[in-house]
Chains A and B, each alone.
Chain A
Amino acid sequence: MRQWVLFALLLVAASAHSQSVTGVDKRRSGADFMAASTQAMQKDDTLNPGMLWVKDGEALWQKPTGQSQKSCASCHTPSSMKGVASRYPDFDDVLKRPITLSQRINQCRQKHQQTDPLRAESQDLLSLESFVAHQSRGMPVAPPDDKRLDTFRERGQQRYTQRMGQLNLSCAQCHDSNAGGRLGSSQIPQAHPTGYPVYRLEWQSLGSLQRRLRNCMSGVRAEPFAYGAQELVELELHLAVRAKGMLVETPGVRP
């Protein structure tokens, strides 16, 4: 009897192992769904308009500010930022909830530089966020394993699959069930956040993931959550988990 149990266990283990070896990762970056000319714009830093913001962020990094007259560089070298963006949203010990990279930047400004936070979606905040995230380019998205994030991850996943708006569509319906298909003449991407902040051709500007999520909500005729809303942070968290292991592309270019 024990031999059969052992044999059965071995079979299960073998099949599980073979699944992970032969299982194909069907996830594709939004960049894979773009025309060649748009892909070329992203791949070449001399063509990528997002680099205007990265360059600006690099300059802002060095600028002393606030009552402290400290710059970001006073505490952090740019290379010390490698791997930082790839683990955001991260759990904040004080607020006891996840926060985004731009919220962390503003926290740093208030706490360590003793200056005002930057307005959401402002050029300076986007420049700093792009510069930091750019240091993680090529690294895998690595959402933290932190157990304290469990509830928030679940809420984010629930929101991702929940219908909303007058069009009564959920994120999952377009980006899971119909990814690769077309909405109008546009190809539907899988909605991975790997390129953010992204230079979006539709905006003719660089913008955050929250801007894009708010636009999607308008698109299905739902009232968008405000910038910085907890609901958006939870969604971002879910998207990061969903994209775990995919490579950061910041600054991405998207249609």
Chain B
Amino acid sequence: MARTLINAPKTAKRGDVIEIRATIGHPMETGFRPDENGKILPRNIIQNFSCRYNGELVFSAEMFSAVSANPYLAFHTVATESGTLALTWEGDNGFSQTENISLSVVA
């Protein structure tokens, strides 16, 4: 389980635009870097991030080797109803992790 740092409001008014900031600990090994013997280290990156709001995909990012280690994303969505935001990271070597955050939406 990779470490994550997620920041999002716990409550919001219906119709408000909220910002979600998410960092995950991951080396994002580019696949272009040689080791000390000159042999290229195999690529090991997170390739996809998605945010599902009560099951509906509201944002996704396809990441490439050019994204820095411990990838950071800050994105937005409109608060519509209370529920769960599921943040999922997937990548090389079968990497897959989901973190759920609760959002309470008031009128």
Contacts and interface: CB of A to CB of B under 8 A. Distances in A.
Do A and B contact each other directly (Cβ–Cβ < 8 Å)? Answer: yes
Interface residues on B, range: 10 to 19
Interface stretch (B50-58, B68-76, B87-95, B99-107): B68-76
A107 B72 CA distance: 35
B68 to A, nearest CB: 6
A46 B68 contact: no
Contact of B70 (A46, A56, A204): A204
A55 interface: yes
Contacts of A56: 3
A137 to B, nearest CB: 17
B3 A55 contact: yes
B72 to A, nearest CB: 7
A47 B72 contact: yes
B25 A52 contact: yes
B21 interface: yes
A231 to B, nearest CB: 25
A49 B23 CA distance: 7
Contacts of B25: 52
A204 B5 CA distance: 16
A205 interface: yes
B60 interface: no
Nearest to A127: B3
B5 A51 contact: yes
Contacts of B5: 46, 49, 51-52, 55
B7 interface: yes
Given A52-B3, A52-B5, A55-B3, A47 B70 contact: no
Interface string B33-47: 000000000000000
Which of B5, B7, B23, B27: most chain A Cβ within 10 A? B5
Interface string A180-195: 0000000000000000
Interface of A: 46-47, 49, 51-53, 55-56, 204-205
Interface of B: 3-5, 7, 21, 23, 25, 27-28, 68-70, 72
